[in-house]
Amino acid sequence: MSLTNKVKNSLNWLIGGAQGSGVDSAANIFSRACAEGGLQVFGKREYYSNIKGEHSYFTVRISEREIRSHVDEISMLVSFDAETLLRHAGSVVKGGGIVYDSELVDVKIGEVPTLDDAFRDRLVGLLEGEGKPLTVQGILDYASDNDVSLFSIPYFQLLEEFSTKAEDHSLSKLSRMVNVMSLSSSMALLGFPFETLGSAIRYIFRSKPKIAELNVMAANYAYEYARTHHDASGLAFSLTTKKPLPDVILVQGNQSSALGKLTAGCKFQTYYPITPASDDSEFLEANAIVPQAEGKDGSILVLQTEDEIAAITMAIGGALTGARSATATSGPGFSLMTEALGWAGMNEVPIVVSLYQRTGPATGLPTRHEQGDLLFATKAGHGEFPRIVFASGDIEESYYDTIKVFNFAEKFQMPVIHLLDKAIANSITTCKIFDQQRILIDRGLLMENVSDISPDLGHASHYRRFKLIRDNKNKNGNNNSDANYLISPRVLLGTENGIFWNTGDEHTEEGHITEDPEIRTAMMDKRMDKLRIAIEQIRDEDKATLYGIDEPDSLTVISWGSTKGAILDAMDRLIDEGKKIRFVQLRLLNPFPIERVRTLIGDHKQLVDIEMNYSSQLGLLISENIGISMDHLIVKYNGRPISSSEVYNALVRIILREAPRRIILKHGA
Amino acid sequence: MALKLSDYKTEVHNDWCPGCGDFGILNAIQMALSEMGIQKHRAVIFSGIGCSGKTPHFINTYGIHTLHGRVLPFSQGAKLCNPELEVIAVGGDGDGLGIGAGHFVSAGRRNVDMLYIIFNNGVYGLTKGQASPTLKLGLKTKSLPLPNSNNSVNPLALAAVSGFTFIARGYSYDVRHLKDLIKQGIAHKGLAYLDVLQPCPTYNDINTREWYQGSDNLDPETGKQIPRTYKLEGAGYDGIVHLEDEADSKMSNAILKSYEWGKKIPIGIFYQNEMVPTYEERIASKIPDYVKDPPSSQRVSLTDGRSNSDISNLLDILRVSS
C-alpha cells in the first residue's frame, strides 16, 4: 500500500501497560500533541481496581471532524509489556500497526499472572484454533496474518544507547521513560511531526522542566530509531497536523463538572473518597482559590468527611448558611446518603449531589462503567419528596449543566442529583473553550433581608420559612387541591428577624413539629407542587434534546447520559449512508417531562432505547409516565462503555429487521 | 435592647415527661445565651433525634432538628460555612454515641469551634427505654426485658482520645452549675463536649434523681444522704492545659477521672486545651481569606447574573489553541 492511499488523520490509537507504568501520561501526551496539531480528540481510560500492576489501557480516537465517542477497532496498538499485546493485538484492524518490545516475543501466555483466567482461556482457544504458539509471538502472528504491520522496538538497547548519549547512567530511572518512547515510536511511524510531540511532552511535564527535557530527548531518540529502522508503507493510517480551530481546549471529564462548580459559585464541597467521583473534589481542592470578577479572591472549601452520610449532611448544613453546597459520590456512597436526601427534600434545602455512576450493585466493578442508578436516583429515600434528577450527556455539556443544576436547586429549593458516570469522568476530549457567561446564575427566592420579602409572599414582621402561599392565578395544577402553592422565600441562618426552625418531622409554617392532618396535606402539596413549577420553568431544550433527521418515518433512538456520543457518532454514519434516524436525549429525568417527551416521540413508530444497564431503566420510566413501550432495547452491562461501533452495528440490525427486541452488547477489554 | 431570659423561649408546647432532666438542660442553655447576650439570630441550635432532639423547638433562636445520629456533621457544615454563627449541637447518648459514634470521633479530630451537649440518661427514651451506649453492663432498667449485655462507652474518655479540646460534665438538676459549664463551653476556642447526666424518670429507674442525690448512699454516722455528684473545681482538680508540655498528663488525668463512678461522680471541667488549632484556623492556613470571607458571605453572581468567579486561568491551562 503506498503512502498516498493512507487514511489521514482518522484513527483509533491504544496504549496499554501495567497500572503505574505511565500509560496515562503517554496517552495524555498523545492527546495533547494531536489536539495542538489541530485534530479532534476523544480518549477514554480503562483500569482495574488496583494501585500497581494490573492492566490499564487508554484509547484515543483522532479525527479531523467532530468525534464524541470511542470505537472498538484499533488502528494503532502501542505497547511496552506483554499483557497489552495478549489482550489487544487481536483487535487491531487490517492495515493497522503494532508497536512492541522485541524482547517480549517469547513470553508465554501462562507467564502473565494478571490475565484473568476467563480471558486466558479465550485467548488460548483462539490461538490453538489458529494453530499459533501460546506466546506473544503467537498473537503477533495472528495479527500479521490479518495484514497488521508489526514494528518491534528494542527498548532496552535504545535505553542503553540513550543512557550513554545523555550521560545519565541511571537505567532504572531512564526505563520509566519507556512509555514515552513507545508513544514516540508510534508517532514516527504515523508520520506525525516531532516538534508538536515535543511541545506536548513539555506541557505534560510542565511542573518538572528537567524531566520534561529528558523525556523529549528520549522520545526523539526512539522517534528517529522507528523512522529509520522501519518501513511504514504497509500501515494504512497517517497523522499530520493542520491549522487548529480557534479557542479549543482539551479537557477531562473529571475536570468539567468541577470547573462548572467554580463558575456556579459552589463554595462548599464535601466528599468521602470513592472511584470515580473523588477526582472532582480533588480538582476543586487543588484549585480552592478562585479569582473573582469583583477583583479579590474567592474560594471553595473542600472537606473530606468520615463517610458519605457526613458528606451530605455537612453540605446541607452549609447550604442553610447560603453557601452553594455540593457533594460528589458514586453509587455506594449515594446509597448511604438517601436518608439525608429526604431531609433536604423535607426542609426544602438546595443541595447538589454529583452522582458519578459506576458498575453496581454493592461494590460491583468499582472502576468500571454503568448507568445503573437512574431509577434509584429518581426514587431514592423513604417517603415522598421532590427532587430534580438531571443527566449530562458528555464532558462539554457537564460544565454547563453543573451551573444549571445549582440554579435548579436554589430556584426550586430542593436537592438535585446530577447524574454523571465513569465513562464521562475518565474520558478526555477536545471542545470549544467553556463560555463562562452562557448560563446566568439564578438563586431563586433567596432573601438577604427579611424586609425584602414582598407582602404577598409573607409578612415581614413574622417570617415563616414554610409559608403556605396559594397561587390563585394558577388553578390548572395536578394536585387536585383548590389552588397551587408558590415557593416560599428562603432566608439564611444568621439573618436578623428571620428565625426559623427545620425538622425532619412534618412541620408548621414556622418549621415546628406537627402531626395535624390538614397541615400535613398542605405541606405535602406545597413541597410536591414545586415539581410542577420546575416542569413549567425548565426550558424544553433542557428537558430533552432532539438530534438527527426528524421525519415521520425516521427511526427514533431514545437514551440519556453518556451514551450520547456513541449514538451521535453512529447516527452520523447511518445518515451518511442515507438512513433516516433521530435521537431523543433525555436530560431532565425527574420530574419526568411527560409533555416534552410525548411531543418528541409524537407518532413515531420505531422506538429504540439504548442504555448501559440491564433493565432499560429509562424505558421503564417512559412506560411508567407515558404508557409507551419501546420496540427495541439495546443494553450493555459488562462494565465497559458503549462504543459507536456497537451502536452502529445494533442499529443496522434493527434497520434490516434482523434484530431481536432486546440486544445485549458485550464488547470490551 | 438587653435580652431577657424570656426572649429565648418559644411558645411551643413542651411534651417532655413531667420531671424529665431535659428541662434543666433547656433552662441552662437559655440562661447561658441570655447571660452571654448572644443575639437570637446569631445562634443556631442543632439537634439529633429523640426527646433531646426537640430542644431547638423550645428555644427562640434558629433551630435545626436533624436526623438520628447526624447532628455533628449538619452543625459542623453550617459553622464552617458561616463561622460567625454561635453553634450549639445537642442530642441524646444513643444519638451521639450509638448511631452517631463515627461522627463523634471525627468531629474531635477536626476541633471546629462549637459546643456539643449530650443529654445522657442511659436509655432510648422516645422508643420506650431500650439500653443506650452509656448504660452499664448488666443493668436492667424497668424498661428492659433482660439485663443489658453491652459494656458502656465512656463519653468523656472517648471525647479526650478523639481530640475534643474542652471536656466537661454537668448534672441536669444543678442548673446554675450546668449553665456556667455551657457558658464556658461556648466561650471555649475549639470543640467543646459537655456530658449532662440527665435522669429519665419514665424508663431509667436506676440512675434516678434520688439515686444521684444519694438515697441509697447514706453517711454511716449521720444517716444522711450523700449526693453522688461533686464539683471538680471544689476538689482541687485543674484540667486546664496552661503549658503545651502538660497536655498529655492533663489528658491522662482527665481520662482517669472520667472513670470515677458509683458513690462519687465528678462534674465540672475535666480537660481544656486552647492551644490546639481549630479547624477554622487550619482552613485559614490554606485559604487566607477564609475568616474574612467565609463560604456563606461570598458573592456568587454579579448584579446582571453573570458569575462572579473567573476560571480563565484554569481554562487557559487546558487550551490547545488561541
Contact map slice: B 64-83 vs A, CB within 8 A:
64-67, 70, 72-82
CATH number at residue A653: 3.40.50.920
The pLDDT score that the predictor gives to residue A457 is 78
Cβ-defined contact of B306 to A440 (cutoff 8 Å):
yes
Residues recorded for chain B: 322
* CA A49/CA A44 separation, integer angstroms: 16
Cβ-defined contact of B311 to A259 (cutoff 8 Å):
yes
Among A268, A293, A497, beta carbon nearest to B41: A497
Among A263, A305, A321, beta carbon nearest to B307: A263
What are the CA-CA distances from residue A88 to residues A43, A93, A263, B203 (Å)? Answer: 16, 11, 41, 68
| B13 contacts chain A (CB < 8 A) | no
Pairs across A and B, CB distance < 8 A: 253
Which chain B positions have a beta carbon within 8 Å of A307's beta carbon? Answer: 102
Has residue A481 got a pLDDT over 90? no
Does some domain include residue B208?
Answer: yes
Nearest CA in chain B to A315: B77
Does some domain include residue B311?
Answer: no
Q: Where in the sequence is the domain holding B142, given as residue range(s)?
A: 5-282
Nearest CA in chain B to A288: B287
Has residue A477 got a pLDDT over 80? no
Cβ-defined contact of B77 to A403 (cutoff 8 Å):
no
| End position of a domain, from candidates A483, A514, A537 | A537
A8 and A126 both lie in a single domain: yes
Which chain B positions have a beta carbon within 8 Å of A303's beta carbon? Answer: 80
The pLDDT score that the predictor gives to residue A233 is 95
Q: Where in the sequence is the domain holding A108, given as residue range(s)?
A: 3-238
> What's the grid cell of residue A89?
493485538
> How does residue A576 score in pLDDT terms, banded at 50, 70 and 90?
very high
Has residue A73 got a pLDDT over 60? yes
Does some domain include residue A443?
Answer: no
pLDDT tens track for A150-199? 999 999 999 999 999 888 878 888 899 999 999 999 999 999 999 999 99
Q: Residues A416-433: what's their mean pLDDT? A: 98
The pLDDT score that the predictor gives to residue A169 is 79
The pLDDT score that the predictor gives to residue A460 is 59
| End position of a domain, from candidates A432, A461, A483 | A432
| B258 contacts chain A (CB < 8 A) | no
The pLDDT score that the predictor gives to residue A172 is 84
| A325 contacts chain B (CB < 8 A) | yes
For residue A63, the cross-strand partners are: A40
The pLDDT score that the predictor gives to residue A1 is 42
Measure in Å the smallest separation between the Cα of B151 and chain A Cα atoms: 25
- In this structure, of A204-213, A475-484, B277-286, the range with the lowest mean pLDDT score is A475-484
Does some domain include residue A244?
Answer: no
Cβ-defined contact of B73 to A504 (cutoff 8 Å):
no
The pLDDT score that the predictor gives to residue A2 is 47
A415 and A462 both lie in a single domain: no
Give the CA angle between residues A545, A546, A547 to the nearest 5°: 125
Cβ-defined contact of B296 to A343 (cutoff 8 Å):
no
Amino acid at B67: L
Which chain A positions have a beta carbon within 8 Å of B106's beta carbon? Answer: 305-306, 310
| A349 contacts chain B (CB < 8 A) | no
Nearest CA in chain A to B304: A440
A561 and A521 both lie in a single domain: no
Return the half-sphere exposure (C-beta side, CA atoms, 13 A cut-off) of residue A446: 25
What is the number of structural domains in chain A?
4
A261 and A401 both lie in a single domain: yes
Does some domain include residue A634?
Answer: yes
Does some domain include residue B72?
Answer: yes
Does some domain include residue A243?
Answer: no
Asked whether the beta carbons of A94 and A75 are under 8 A apart, the reply is no
A42 and A131 both lie in a single domain: yes
Does some domain include residue A245?
Answer: no
Return the half-sphere exposure (C-beta side, CA atoms, 13 A cut-off) of residue B105: 11
Does some domain include residue B54?
Answer: yes
Contact map slice: B 83-102 vs A, CB within 8 A:
84-85, 102
Which chain B positions have a beta carbon within 8 Å of A248's beta carbon? Answer: 319-321
Cis amide linkage into residue A591, ω under 30° from 0: yes
Top-confidence residue, A462 or A159: A159
Region for A53 from its dihedrals, namely left if φ exceeds 0, alpha if ψ lies in -120 to 50, beta otherwise = left
Contact map slice: B 164-223 vs A, CB within 8 A:
none
Does some domain include residue B88?
Answer: yes
Instruction: Determine what percent of chain A is predicted with pLDDT higher than 90.
Output: 93
Contact map slice: A 12-41 vs B, CB within 8 A:
32, 35-36, 38
Mean pLDDT of chain A: 96
Nearest CA in chain A to B57: A512
- The 3-class secondary structure across chain B, one letter per residue, is CCCCHHHHECCCCCCCCCCCCHHHHHHHHHHHHHHHCCCHHHEEEEECCCCHHHHHHHECCEEEECCCCCHHHHHHHHHHHCCCCEEEEEEEHHHHHHHCHHHHHHHHHHCCCEEEEEEECCEECCCCCEECCCCCCCCCCCCCCCCCCCCCCCHHHHHHHHCCCEEEEEECCCHHHHHHHHHHHHHCCCEEEEEEECCCCCCCCCCCHHHHHCCCCECCCCCCECCCEEEHHHHCCCCECCCHHHHHHHHHHHHHHHCCCCCCEEEEEEEECCCCCCHHHHHHCCCCCCCCCCHHHCCCECCCCCECECCHHHHHHHECCC
Residues recorded for chain A: 669
A39 and A70 both lie in a single domain: yes
Nearest CA in chain B to A403: B307
Cβ-defined contact of A291 to B102 (cutoff 8 Å):
no
Q: Which residues of chain B have pLDDT under 50?
A: none
Nearest CA in chain B to A501: B63
Contact map slice: A 433-472 vs B, CB within 8 A:
433-434, 436-437, 440-443
Has residue A478 got a pLDDT over 70? no
Does some domain include residue A427?
Answer: yes
* CA A87/CA A123 separation, integer angstroms: 8
Which chain B positions have a beta carbon within 8 Å of A502's beta carbon? Answer: 63-66
pLDDT tens track for A276-286? 999 999 999 99
A233 and A274 both lie in a single domain: no
Contact map slice: A 173-192 vs B, CB within 8 A:
none
| B60 contacts chain A (CB < 8 A) | yes
* CA A337/CA B67 separation, integer angstroms: 12
Measure in Å the smallest separation between the Cα of A189 and chain B Cα atoms: 24
What is the number of structural domains in chain B?
1
Does some domain include residue B277?
Answer: yes
Q: What is the DSSP pairing of strand A149-153 with strand A92-101?
A: parallel
Does some domain include residue A439?
Answer: no
The pLDDT score that the predictor gives to residue A4 is 59
Nearest CA in chain A to B317: A249
Which chain B positions have a beta carbon within 8 Å of A497's beta carbon? Answer: 41
Interface test with A, best of B64, B71, B289, B290 (most A CBs within 10 A): B64
CATH number at residue A167: 3.40.920.10
The pLDDT score that the predictor gives to residue B240 is 98
| B4 contacts chain A (CB < 8 A) | no
Which chain A positions have a beta carbon within 8 Å of B54's beta carbon? Answer: 513
Does some domain include residue A437?
Answer: no
The pLDDT score that the predictor gives to residue B19 is 94
Top-confidence residue, A427 or A455: A427
* CA A252/CA A28 separation, integer angstroms: 10
Q: Residues A482-501: what's their mean pLDDT? A: 92
| A362 contacts chain B (CB < 8 A) | no
Which chain A positions have a beta carbon within 8 Å of B314's beta carbon? Answer: 259, 262, 287
Which chain B positions have a beta carbon within 8 Å of A62's beta carbon? Answer: none
Does some domain include residue B236?
Answer: yes
Which chain B positions have a beta carbon within 8 Å of A299's beta carbon? Answer: 287, 289-290, 293, 295, 298
The pLDDT score that the predictor gives to residue A475 is 57
CATH number at residue B74: 3.40.50.970
A495 and A350 both lie in a single domain: no
Does some domain include residue B194?
Answer: yes
Cβ-defined contact of B320 to A434 (cutoff 8 Å):
no
* CA B189/CA B286 separation, integer angstroms: 20
> What's the grid cell of residue A576?
451518511
A637 and A488 both lie in a single domain: no
| End position of a domain, from candidates A472, A506, A537 | A537
A599 and A513 both lie in a single domain: no
Cβ-defined contact of A492 to B315 (cutoff 8 Å):
no
CATH number at residue A313: 3.40.50.970
Instruction: Determine what percent of chain A is predicted with pLDDT higher than 70.
Output: 97
Burial of B282 from C-beta contacts in 10 A (0-12 / 13-18 / 19+): middle
Contact map slice: A 225-264 vs B, CB within 8 A:
244-251, 255, 259, 262-264
Cis amide linkage into residue A361, ω under 30° from 0: yes
A205 and A276 both lie in a single domain: no
Cβ-defined contact of A321 to B305 (cutoff 8 Å):
no
A413 and A303 both lie in a single domain: yes
